[in-house]
Amino acid sequence: MHPETLCILFLLLTYSWAYPSYQDQIPNGKNVMHPCIPNYTWPGVGHQNKNGGGARNPFGEAFAREGHQWTKALCATDTDGDGRTNGEELGDPSCVWAPGKTPSRTVNITHPGVCEPITSTKCQGQNSFVTCQADSFDDNCEIFTNTDVKYVDLRMPTISIPADDTTYMCLSFNLLKDQDYHIVADKPIINNTNVVHHMMLYGCDDANTEFFSTPSECEMSKCTAIIGGWTVGQTGECYDEGVGFRIGVTGFKTAVLEIHYNNPKLVSTYKDSSGLRVYYRPARPEVLDMFTMMTGQTMLPLPPGQSKIQKVGVCTSSCTSLLFKETVYVNSATNHMHLLGSSMRIELLRKGVVITNLTNEEDFDYNTPFTQDYEVPVKVLPGDEIVTRCVYNTESSNDYVYYGDATSDEMCYGYLTMYPKSALRSAQQNCVATSTLSACELAQGVTYNGCDWKTLIRPNNADVKKIKNDLYENCDLGETCSQECKDIIRTLTDPCFQEDNIIFVRSLEAITEDVFEIIQHLQWCPVTTTHNGPSHNAVVYDDSNTNYSGVTSVSISSKHMALLIGFGFTLKYSLF
């Protein structure tokens, strides 16, 4: 994305309602759906422009007359004339909501300033400002003016979408191999807007390729190098003239398209054939290879009813020294959390001092993703520290929420596009922490509170299989916890199965099915607790007040980083 495009996008996203805080002054202010583009929101609720700014719509005018406050009068009014009050449309039919509280309804939120259904007789002539076509970025991508730029469509054939809330489908593609090329842009091809939530394109090395010859449900892909993607609200990505993702003879030779389908209504008749249009041009010596680095935290036990919970992931100075052999540059950065995320920033520290924020979204909104592009790229030195801080509001939750792929789960990821790729010491380019262990300590297999997790999650661990089988023979998850089940659990002496370590083990992305099933039994049948409530509610790693500046890490050699690949600790880096 070019600087001028970034400037326009930044103004639109931050000018919703003229001030983002206005969204907090009405119920479900961040969840108002677009009247005719499924899965898209209308963040500028009070404006004719869906992104905010400019002329107000009927609801925006009424909101201004009420002093930008949610009053009973405003709630009881039908400003768009479609037969439903503003309160009914925004999930507060009784007009009792107040800022900071959870509305009585948080789904199926309709627009109080747009007469709906827009095609109905009563609404004709009232919605002239509404467009039912998603934005396009073609006119803003200057690189398309180059005559050597070509494109290829990487998309699903027509497939049936499972009637499940969350489904990930993967399909592999062979890329051009006659010479080297650079991917310079991509944009979405959306066939079914009702279910397509986001897409990722992963570059794969021949030696580490998991090839999906037909569309397949997928997870834990061995290909983790992100070279393209899209999520709801975005129009595409256009890179600067001097950088690109290398494919071809010396670059990625295959790619995996991963699509996240979100089908909360469990519709069984949906079909889709979406994908990405990828633009490429012949590689030139002066064009530098890009790579995507992930930062963040995967240990995310989030208790319900809290206005602010902070989780922190640290890419330590020892990690960046191991990852980078020379200076790298950040040309864009993106925050990613799910629906409970309220604010997020990624800090760059040098010698324990914050020198800049790579991102800083004080009013994070899952439905309106924002990418921070840098006209002057940010320099990152080996030995710098990258700290990712994610803040959540769980006042709308009735139960614990954990890390996971589903929209109803949570994430804490930062995505940094960097260059040159030649600065990497190895194929490892991500730096995501789990609890207080950095990515490099995870690569080394450093124990956690006495838990030898590396041995625990080793495939075909005979001891783990015996424990699982014993639990299955004596514990029925559908019944009351029996004495026999309790007796089996009391014999478990492995520190990994102690209460304080269970959440850590659960947060490991390489966890095996056997270990996960054991944890299910332990959480279903708590034997000893030191608190009130279910066992899993006891384990809360809250680092709100932890100072991670200058965190020291053990000395790690490059052979330890290779454990990530040799041991099979393949992290699934899902963008959204």
pLDDT tens digit sequence for 115-146: 999 989 989 888 989 988 766 665 567 787 78
pLDDT band of residue 410 (cuts 50, 70, 90) is very high
pLDDT of 193-226, one tens digit each?
889 988 999 998 766 567 899 999 987 556 778 8
Q: Same domain, yes or no, for 425 and 502?
A: no
With 60 as the cut, is the pLDDT of residue 547 above it?
A: no
**Confidence at residue 209, expressed as pLDDT on a 0 to 100 scale:** 66
Per-residue pLDDT reduced to its tens digit, 266-286: 999 999 999 999 999 999 999
pLDDT in the model for residue 1: 39
Task: Report residue 107's pLDDT band, with 50, 70 and 90 as the boundaries.
Answer: confident
Mean per-residue pLDDT for 509-516?
A: 84
Q: How confident is the prediction for the chain on average, in pLDDT? A: 82
Which is higher by pLDDT, 18 or 103?
Answer: 103
Tokens 């108002």 belong to 32
Q: Is residue 100 classed as helix, strand or coil in its secondary structure?
A: coil
Q: Is residue 299 a part of any domain in this protein?
A: yes
Under the banding of pLDDT at 50, 70 and 90, the label for residue 473 is confident
435 shares its domain with 509: no
Residue 259 lies in a domain: yes
Indicate whether 88 pLDDT > 90: yes
Question: Are 421 and 459 contained in the same domain?
Answer: no
Query: Which pLDDT band, with edges at 50, 70 and 90, does 23 fall under?
Result: confident
Residues 181 and 315 in one domain: no
Based on the fold, state whether residues 296 and 422 are members of the same structural domain.
yes
Closest to 334 measured CA to CA, from 350, 349, 345 = 345
pLDDT at 549: 35
Is pLDDT larger for residue 224 or for residue 9?
Answer: 224
Return the pLDDT at 265. 85
Q: What six digits make up the tokens of 228?
A: 């393209």
Give the mean model confidence (pLDDT) for residues 24-36. Answer: 90
Q: Is the peptide bond before 215 cis (omega within 30 degrees of 0)?
A: no
Highest mean pLDDT among 272-286, 485-499, 539-553: 272-286
Closest CA to 300 of 387, 392, 365, 219: 392
Task: Tell me which of 502, 524, 546 is where a domain ends.
Answer: 524
Query: Where residue 330 sits, what CATH number does that domain have?
Result: 2.60.120.230
**pTM exceeds 0.95:** no
Position 324 scores a pLDDT of 96
Residue 77 inside a domain? The answer is: yes
**Given a cut of 70, is residue 543 above it in pLDDT?**
no
In a domain, 564, yes or no: no
Q: Does residue 413 belong to any structural domain of this protein?
A: yes
Looking at 134, 166, 194, which one is the last position of a domain?
Answer: 134
Give the model's pLDDT for residue 170: 94
Mark whether 319 and 440 lie in a shared domain: yes
In a domain, 225, yes or no: yes
Write down the pLDDT at residue 228.
92
Instruction: Look at 170-179, 252-261, 372-381, 467-476 and tell me which has the smallest mean pLDDT.
Output: 467-476
Return the sign of the alpha-carbon dihedral for residues 149, 150, 154, 158: positive
145 shares a domain with 103: no
DSSP secondary structure letters along 383-442:
T-EEEEEEEE--TT-SS-B-B-SSTTSB--EEEEEEE-GGGBSSS---EEEBTTB-HHHH
Check residue 8 and give its pLDDT. 30
Which of 474, 473, 493, 469 minimizes the C-alpha distance to 484?
474
Residue 535's pLDDT is 36
Q: What is the mean pLDDT of residues 379-395?
A: 96
Written as one letter, the residue type at 48 is Q
Q: Does some domain include residue 546? A: no
Contact of 508 with 403, CB cutoff 8 Å: no
**The pLDDT of residue 537 is above 60:** no
Question: What is the mean pLDDT of the segment spanning 170-184?
Answer: 94
Residues 309 and 175 in one domain: no
Residue-level pLDDT at 136: 64
Range of the domain at 324: 288-446
Evaluate whether 6 touches 373 at the Cβ level (below 8 Å).
yes
Q: Which two tokens stand for residue 448?
A: 């956690």
In this prediction, residue 528 carries a pLDDT of 58
Tell me the sheet residues that pair with 415. 294, 334
Give 323-373 pLDDT, tens digit per residue. 999 999 999 999 999 989 999 999 999 999 999 999 999 888 887 777 888
Question: Which of 356-374 are b and which e, b meaning 16 or more Cβ less than 10 Å from the residue's Cβ?
Answer: ebbbebebbbbbbbbbbbb
Q: Would you give the DSSP letter of residue 210?
A: -
Take residue 488 and report the two structure tokens written for it. Answer: 């089996």
Q: What pLDDT is recorded for position 555?
A: 29
Q: What is the structure's pLDDT at 172?
A: 94
Q: In this structure, are 424 and 476 located in the same domain?
A: no
The pLDDT assigned to 567 comes to 25
Regarding beta strands 275-282 and 180-189, do their DSSP bridges make them parallel or antiparallel, or are they unpaired?
Answer: antiparallel
Q: How many domains does the chain have?
A: 4
In the predicted structure, residue 574 carries a pLDDT above the cut 60: no
Q: What CATH number does the domain containing 166 carry?
A: 2.60.120.310
Tell me what the mean pLDDT of segment 445-473 comes to: 90
376 and 515, same domain (yes or no): no
Residue ending a domain, choose from 415, 446, 477: 446
Q: What is the pLDDT of residue 147?
A: 86
Residues 332 and 266 in one domain: no
One domain, residues 228 and 331: no
Looking at the predicted structure, is the pLDDT value of residue 559 above 60? Answer: no
Is 536 inside a domain boundary?
Answer: no
| pLDDT for 246 beyond 80 | yes
**Which DSSP symbol is given to 290?**
P
